[in-house]
Chains A and B, each alone.
Chain A
Amino acid sequence: MIRLLHNKLVAGEITAVDLAKQYLKTIKEKDGEFGAYLTVLEKQALEEAVIVDERLKRGETIDLLAGIPGAIKDNILMEGIRATSASKILDNYIAPYDATVIAKLKAVHTVMLGKTNMDEFALGSSTENSAYQVTKNPYDLTRVPGGTSGGSAAAVAGSEAVWALGSDTGGSIRQPAAFCGVVGLKPTYGRVSRYGLMAGASSLDQIGPIAQTVEDVAIVFSRIAGYDPHDATSADSGHGKKYEDYLGGDVRGKKIGIPKEYFSSDLDPKIRVLCDQALEYFKSLGIEVREISLPHSSFALPAYYIIQPCEVSSNFARYDGIRYGLSINDEKSSVEEKSTLLETYLDTRRHGFGPEVKRRIMLGTYSLSSGYYDAYYLKAQKVRALLKQDFEKAFEEVDFIFSPTTPEPAFKIGEKTTDPLKMYLGDIYTITANLTGVPALSFPIGTVSEDGKELPIGGQLQGRWFDEETLLCVADAFEKEYERCHSV
């Protein structure tokens, strides 16, 4: 879709201003219903579009992504623009600088339409934890769009943006992409700079693209990836690689592994049917499919829900009511009237954070507290090493690991909000890629019928570390094969 729009821009069939206006109009008409955006940047979007049109008028070559309207998750900083991470504690926070990914996107003159809704501080799986609004799934407005990048996925699925950026700590790009029938990539840890992304769990967080097609995802990904001295975990490789150029390459002879642990008897039969069908498409592309084992899979979820809250609890100490954001001191608990630092901390964080954020901070604080560190955090880090070994072994045998992205389609709004553990269990297929750091892509593999609505299901391919090009190439081939078989 991006290439098509780019060609129209270059041919003069449309202008960047018209394109931006068209998307802004859709947002005005539809976002009351979808609730994907927290902030719409009409003025900035149109100003950037004007620049693109002027460049075209002067006959300059423009980047593939120039003038193509996209949306940015609200935990990514854009200079001078409010960034709340969907939390009341940052209700009045104005980002003082650009995240590296934003600086890179500005450099190619892309058009950014606004900031999207999410679970507060990217904690959740449904975007219901936003302190501001509920985002609805464009396929069925009674259902969640997934989370935490639910606003970004809904914006793309609802034609309110061509592409969007999300962030993925345990599936927060891939699960909403799956629920909304679009494509989402969690890059290899270290591939995309985290500078200017509000830190959640620093060893797991990655920024990545969401779009309608694999090619669109590749185009956006090429423009945000790369080494950044501002992020100490940023990988010094893959400079200036254009991932879209690798699409269409030969995929014959590649091998896909099916972990037997991921396809147990309790997998929803309707999803299993779609997975089997997807594997047939892969086979018809000349790709070999074989069963593999990831023996430590069942330990990934508990390990994740130790490591993630531990890192969150440490990172979130910054929300202290002193340096930025909300500052409250209304519960004078001391005998004296004079307010103290501790009271400011307690009151600010009580009022500013929602229930899930408080739960994770408390889980993490307890797990890291004296006497429990070895039993929880250290143990989880050891499990993480074992999971990585599982993957290293698997990749000696196969090139990719396939599974569904989620164990079920998008669930009803409110269905899981009262049971946090139940919500956590839905992350079963996505979290291992964050713990092991491998790149993982979710893409549509069909729909299932629920209450008379067709709900999208996502398939997930995980690839070798830093080998996004082959991953995207195979998914692109699948997408074309799927379209060919379904257009007859």
Chain B
Amino acid sequence: MLTEDEVKHIALLSRIGLKEEEIPQYQKDLSAVFDFFRELETLPTDDVAPIGHITGRTDVMRSDECEEFGERGREQMMKNVPETKDGFVKVKSVF
């Protein structure tokens, strides 16, 4: 079973704010799933090469060109930004 502190740590790494009262439920739910993963320990895989996806394609290249979305595209993108300043996306201060 994951400890309370472990759940808090995972939540912080995940950038998800958790309330104290929510922690026991996540402890229970996440631990049950991690226990379920243990089934994989019974399968020897030392000699197996992992695959990330099935297409077998690697390093798909394209020329490094800017695709112009146009004024309308820019406007539509910026409309979704929560906070803007002078046509730029505004980011909160880090500290």
Contact = CB atoms under 8 A, between A and B. Distances in A.
B92 A341 contact: yes
B30 to A, nearest CB: 6
B66 to A, nearest CB: 15
Interface stretch (A12-20, A104-112, A144-152, A298-306): A298-306
Contacts of A166: none
B33 A94 contact: no
A344 interface: yes
A353 B16 contact: yes
Residue from B19, B82, B93, B94 having most chain A Cβ neighbours under 10 A = B82
A345 B13 CA distance: 11
Contact of B37 (A93, A302, A385): A302
A10 to B, nearest CB: 36
Contacts of B49: 382, 385
A164 to B, nearest CB: 25
Contact of A327 (B17, B57, B83, B94): B83
A305 B36 contact: yes
B40 A298 contact: no
A79 B10 CA distance: 36
Contacts of B77: 96
A340 B92 contact: yes
Contacts of A232: 57, 60
B77 to A, nearest CB: 5
Nearest to A231: B60
B91 A346 contact: no
Nearest to A358: B16
B1 interface: no
Interface stretch (A30-38, A119-127, A132-140, A363-371): A363-371
Contacts of A322: 81-83, 89, 91-92
B59 to A, nearest CB: 9
Contacts, number: 170
Contacts of B53: 189, 202-203, 233, 437
Interface stretch (A209-217, A373-381, A468-476): A373-381
A323 B33 contact: no
Interface string B61-95: 01000000100010011011111000001011111
Interface in A268-297: 296
B80 A94 contact: yes
A229 interface: yes
23 contacts: A80-B76, A97-B76, A202-B53, A229-B62, A299-B40, A317-B15, A320-B15, A322-B91, A323-B80, A341-B91, A342-B15, A345-B15, A350-B17, A350-B19, A362-B7, A366-B13, A366-B30, A378-B50, A379-B40, A381-B52, A383-B45, A420-B29, A420-B33
Given A189-B53, A298-B39, A344-B92, 12 more contacts: A327-B83, A341-B93, A346-B12, A349-B14, A358-B14, A361-B16, A376-B37, A379-B45, A382-B49, A420-B33, A421-B29, A437-B54
